Amino acid sequence: MGGDIDFTTFRNVIGGKLSSTEQTRHGINPATGEANPEVPVSTPADVDSAVEAGLAAFKTWSKTPYEERKKALLAFADGVAEYSKELAQLLVKEQGKPSTTRYELKEEIVEDTDDRQIIVRYTPLGLAVGIVPWNFPIALGMMKIGPALLTGNTLIVKPSPFTPYCALKVVEIGQKFFPPGVLQVLSGDDNLGPWLTAHPGPAKISFTGSSATGKRVMESASKTLKRVTLELGGNDPAIICPDINIEAVAAK
């Protein structure tokens, strides 16, 4: 296992480098009420720096052969797996949940006849922003990172203010495998999302979260005609019966 990732300090990743901010904040462990470590509060200047680095990296990353991008992503996945224990512990602290995921994009030939040939081909758009919710920060973050980078885009990950810790470390790990600016992460407060969605640099926004926030993301992105993918308003209700032993179930 690698030991060069410090899981006690948390910084943005901009242009392949760890970047601190003047202001910081801390999350709360929902299970214990204890304060988690300090994380960055990004500014518009940080957004500009990340966008500039992502756009610069896109010029070469988008021209990198598919197999090389695939190789880098698989190595990145292995690199994240090396820190699975540390990330699991971090996930417990930032979410409060008790501790108890090969992707290929290829040409798809839709029709091939004597009359015509129809091919679906995935081409990179440019710099993308992945806005990740609090409930599955690693899984949903990786689901945005993989497709974006594999198709030649560069990506800025914006985690939830409530659960920024795992995303900051996953992207820090990623710096071993990708050129500077290809994969970045910005932590911040409620101002950060609107700054990113309104910025003219990104070409794509991928958002997972509430329907109300999704409407604001679409409205903001529409001003610069960004492409937007929204995954909104999922619900997973549970019925708790009167005779349940809450303490026994929570321990599992």
User: Rounded to an integer, what is the distance from CA 146 to the centroid of its chain?
Assistant: 10
User: What is the pLDDT, as a whole number, of residue 16?
Assistant: 96
User: What is the pLDDT, as a whole number, of residue 188?
Assistant: 96
pLDDT tens for each residue of 158-169: 999 999 999 999
Question: What CA–CA distances, in Å, run from 81 to 54, 193, 243?
Answer: 25, 28, 40
Rounded average pLDDT per 10-residue block, the chain, 252 residues: 80 96 92 91 97 98 95 95 91 79 54 85 91 93 96 97 96 96 97 96 97 96 96 82 87 74
Give me 157's structure tokens.
Answer: 């990950």
Q: What does pLDDT average to over the chain?
A: 91
**SS3 sequence of the chain:** CCCCCCCCCCCEEECCEEECCCCEEEEECCCCCCEEEEEECCCHHHHHHHHHHHHHHHHHHCCCCHHHHHHHHHHHHHHHHHCHHHHHHHHHHHHCCCCCCCCCCCCEEEEECCCCEEEECCCCCCEEEEECCCCCHHHHHHHHHHHHHHCCCEEEEECCCCCCHHHHHHHHHHCCCCCCCCEEECCCCCCHHHHHHHCCCCCEEEEEECHHHHHHHHHHHHCCCCEEEEEECCCCCCCCCCCCCHHHHHHC
User: What is the pLDDT, as a whole number, of residue 3?
Assistant: 62
Asked if the 13-97+124-233 domain carries CATH number 2.40.30.170, the reply is no
pLDDT tens for each residue of 133-175: 998 999 999 999 999 999 999 999 999 999 999 999 999 999 9
Annotated catalytic sites, by residue?
A: 231
